[in-house]
Chain A
Amino acid sequence: DTEVTQTPKHLVMGMTNKKSLKCEQHMGHRAMYWYKQKAKKPPELMFVYSYEKLSINESVPSRFSPECPNSSLLNLHLHALQPEDSALYLCASSQGGSTGAGNTIYFGEGSWLTVV
């Protein structure tokens, strides 16, 4: 079983709603990630937090707002989304930016988002 926990597993929201996806890991990892995955496509990196600071933003629209309250938690706040934002949102973590085994990324089970 994955040690990265995501909630909710499924979310349906309207285009005017505000909702949040939550992610938690207790592996002591210092890097946490949000990925978006559409059907039959590989995961696409959205954001990376390293030591609770935003390290990478892959030019994600501002309707997606990440937050890292502490080293174990990562949120993704959603507002005014579009139907094309419907996808699987994956949270992941890794020990850090080191090489080798410490660079392994571990994924949560994902949150299935549908925007109506």
Chain B
Amino acid sequence: RKEVEQDPGPFNVPEGATVAFNCTYSNSASQSFFWYRQDCRKEPKLLMSVYSSGNEDGRFTAQLNRASQYISLLIRDSKLSDSATYLCVVRGRGGFKTIFGAGTRLFVKA
């Protein structure tokens, strides 16, 4: 079993749609959780950190369920510019090892 698993994708959605990405992690000692966005041939960029209480940034909402070891990202009112690969990222306590999910490709179409 992979340490971090994501929906395989790709997701093809029309503009204005709501899309949800899911991610599970295997190490219950994991402490920090993030969603990164990566555009084609660019570096990964932090989209948002994920907190136990859940957090929202504009059209983006992230949720963490520690009991189920599950992270989610919800994108509302999808824009063409949201087309990218979304990477789920997990880090351990006090350590530097960072585990990336395989990424989920999103295509938003007009």
Contacts and interface: CB of A to CB of B under 8 A. Distances in A.
* Chains A and B come from one and the same complex: yes
Chain A interface residue count: which class?
20 to 34
Residue of A50, A98, A107 ringed by the most chain B CB atoms within 10 A:
A107
Interface string A98-109: 111101111111
Given A101-B49, A104-B49, A45 B97 contact: yes
Interface size class on chain B is: 20 to 34
Contacts of A31: 96
B54 interface: no
Contact of B91 (A41, A103, A109, A110): A103
A90 B32 CA distance: 21
B66 interface: no
A106 B89 CA distance: 12
B87 interface: yes
Given A42-B87, A108-B43, A109-B42, A99 B93 contact: yes
B31 A99 contact: yes
Contacts of A50: 96
- Top 4 closest pairs, chain A to chain B, by CB: A42-B100, A107-B43, A103-B32, A48-B96
9 contacts: A2-B45, A33-B96, A33-B98, A42-B103, A50-B96, A98-B94, A101-B49, A103-B31, A104-B46
Interface of B: 31-32, 34, 41-46, 49, 87, 89, 91, 93-98, 100-103
Given A56-B96, A105-B89, 4 more contacts: A2-B45, A43-B44, A98-B94, A105-B98
